[in-house]
Structure 1
Amino acid sequence: MERTVAIVADRVGWEERRLIDAAAGLGLSVEWVNDESLALGDQESASLGGYAAVLVRSRSYTRGGLIATVAEAARIPTLNTVSAIQACENKLTLRAQLRAAGVPVPDFRLVLSRRDFEKALAELPPPVVLKPVFGGMGKRVTLLRDADSAHSVYDYVEDLGHGFEQASLIEPYLAGGSSLRCFVVGRELVAIAEFHSAGTDWRSNAALGNRNRAVDLDPEVQKIVDGVLDVLGEGIFGIDLFATPDGYVVNEVNHAPAFRAVASATGVDIATAIGRYVREEIG
């Protein structure tokens, strides 16, 4: 299995099927490995030890980094790297690293308690967005339009969430209902799509099925993408940007990005681009 690549995920979705199909024409063999049945930890990481590389596409915002940590420690080539996956899994870590590097990100406040929440609202008045530090696909991201409803929402955060789930960010609501998804393979920006809210949801997350269209490359966008890659290193990323009066800011970076909507909007064969990159990485 020296040229067999493992796609580590909880299931085979649309993207994984396209990656498996594209690999055949590139001289690669790709196998799905269920991320729920690895039991990693032995020195050679036996569950993954026979593969030429591991492509981590776990949808969980905890499994990916944990699996990559053990695989990389066993010297199994891992895409993306542990450091990149762990930064993307943690919105606070990502924001802090990007801001320190001069990459534009939204203003934010870390909320770990009711007191944090009250102070954050005083410094960033509603409307604001409350989002979990750990999470993805737009889940548990809440628009707080006024202070009264904001405190009611936070009651649920306190009562229903564990400490891990309660860690949140408050950031200004950037009105407009659209975002750019920049899809990167290696260090190449291979596709850009703009996502618009479909009108039934204020969020423009691609996982919610909103409208999308291809857009041309903007030098400002390329500069921001390059800045993100300088921080995370090359890899396979979905970089989401919001437009503001002062220019684009990085909302988040997905380390296991879906690409069905971007491929549909742009016509780019993203699966083949990823396959070529993996082939180059394993030599």
Structure 2
Amino acid sequence: MPRRALILVEGHVRGNGLRYVEAARRIGLDPITLSADPSQYGYLKAEGMETIRVDTDNLDALIRECSRLGATCHITGITGLRESVYATVGGLCRHFDLPGPNVASIERCCDKFVQRQLLAKAGVPIPAYRLAVNATDVESAAAEIGLPVILKPVVGSGSSGVRLCRDVEELAEHTTFLLGGKHVWRSSPRMLVEEFAQGPYYSIDIMGDEVIGVAAADFGPPPHFVFRETTYPAPLNIEEYKRIVDVSLSCLRALDLEWGPKNIEFRWTKRGPVVIEVNPRLSGSPDPQLVQAAYGVDLIAEHIKLVIGEEWDIRRRRSNVAVARKLVADCDGILDWISGDGPAAALPGVVEVKLYVEPKTPIVRKGDHRDCIGHVIAASPSRVLTEAILQRAVDMIDWSITPFPSGDDAVADFACAGLVG
């Protein structure tokens, strides 16, 4: 009998990549990763996984590789672990008549300007927005909307290139950054200038049209949007929860996102829930771990079941409060050491302690998800107890970063400590 293969298009350096590998193996599948550069995913070599180097932006090349694999194994499903390849994955699934996302829906959703247009047409509450392709457009749009504004690329994820611009100087600075060659564009440079919707942040996870749950989160200091802490479930009353769910289902109808996992981000403003972004994919780490710790639902395993055409089940098995704290670098430089993760992980109630970097790694903050150097997750039946466990664990972790030499300094002779509280 031929082996049952799950094709994973690209992976995640810090995110859910290894979890997809482990979940696939638990249900008897042989995961095979197709990647433009498999060496970037250290877990592939560590797990002895089969990998194939291929241009993952090229649908024809992917079809050829999958056809070749199909001669020696039974491809039970195909999925992708990055938003940038998700539409291509949809085309690949359609070619081989396998369950997968709708290509047109994914493409519409991943273009934030098109997404905004469709949501506005459907009457979904969103921030005021304008499209900009040059500095003049940006300046004009900000004047119409009124400062402060959010300036971000039309295509992208992980808050890369996203910044709060509070005055004309910050607006000009970030425009120069985006258009001056420092930002990597996957397509022609297009930017969104958006009203800064102010209020508590929430996100909802959905599979198909079934709601999994709602999380609350907060960010580090502006002008960037680097997650600091995420709580599952969010402390909402019944009416607030219902309003978020109702708006979310309106988003799915407006974008024709019927299949698979989705994550929708909100700000609760004076108007109620305002949609910041609809992500046509499973939310990134550590959200799946939070859902499992809170509700006993393995979202990655259930997504794989959906991908291979088996029955999936997101019914809650327990009711805990799970909280994740990101460990964020507080300066640029060389990571000298990081310690305390072992004792922190051994604390009762700590679900996971994960470090993304090793000593001697250069740290260069980007103002996005790449600034995080690890996370800690705790869970218990009580919100107060979970927060206490989490804080105790975080207090046990410490690190030191030696800043890069500045100006004409030959050696930086001091270190900045990385305690988080």
The match for 1:22 is 23
| Secondary structure at the counterpart of residue 34 of structure 1 | strand
2: CA distance, partners of 1:139 / 1:265: 23
Q: Distance in 1 between matches of 2:3 and 2:311?
A: 10
1:183 and 2:205 correspond: yes
Q: Which residue of 2 aligns with 1:242?
A: 267
Q: Which residue does 1:34 correspond to in 2?
A: 34
Q: Which residue of 2 aligns with 1:86?
A: 107
Alpha-carbon deviation of 1:250?
1.6
Q: Deviations over 1:140-187 (max 9, x none)?
A: 1011101233123323333326694530001111234x4212111122
Match of 1:211 in 2: 229
SS at match of 2:119: helix
What does the per-residue CA deviation read over 1:31-71, in whole Å, with 9 as the maximum and x for residues that have no partner?
Answer: 14233133555599132243222112125x3x3323433x1
CA contact (8 A) 2:149 2:165 kept: yes
In the TM superposition, 1:114-193 aligns within 5 A as 114-160=135-181, 164=187, 166-176=189-199, 178-193=200-215
Aligned to 1:275: 304
Note if 1:253 corresponds to 2:278: yes
Query: Using the alignment, how far apart are the partners of 2:290 and 2:222 within structure 1?
Result: 20
Distance 1:95 1:3, change over 3 A: farther
CA distance in 2, matches of 1:2, 1:229: 36
Question: 5+ residue gaps in structure 2?
Answer: 37-52, 313-421
Secondary structure at the counterpart of residue 52 of structure 1? strand
Aligned to 2:243: 220
* Structure 2 CA distance for partners of 1:280 and 1:41, relative to 1, 3 Å: closer
In structure 2, relative to structure 1, the CA distance for the partners of 1:163 and 1:115 (3 Å cut) is farther
Aligned to 1:64: 86
1:7–1:30 CA contact under 8 A, matched in 2: no
Shift in alpha-carbon separation, 1:138–1:12, aligned structure 2, 3 A: closer
Q: RMSD between aligned alpha carbons?
A: 2.9
% identity of equivalent residues: 20
CA distance in 1, matches of 2:186, 2:9: 28
Partners of 1:181 and 1:30 lie apart in 2 by 32
CA spacing shift, 1:234–1:102, aligned 2, 3 Å? farther
Say if 2:77 and 2:98, in contact at 8 Å, map to a contact too.
yes
8 Å CA contact retained: 1:4, 1:31: yes
Structure 1 residues 60-94: Cα deviation after superposition (integer angstroms, max 9, x where no partner): x3x3323433x145234253321232123211121
- Relative to structure 1, the CA distance from residue 16 to residue 133 in structure 2 (aligned partners, 3 Å threshold; closer, same or farther) is same
| Structure of larger gyration radius | 2
* 1:104 matches 2:125: yes
Q: Which moved more, 1:240-249 or 1:251-260?
A: 251-260
Q: How many residues align?
A: 274
Give the TM-score normalised by structure 2: 0.58
* Structure 1 spans left out of the alignment, 5+ residues: none
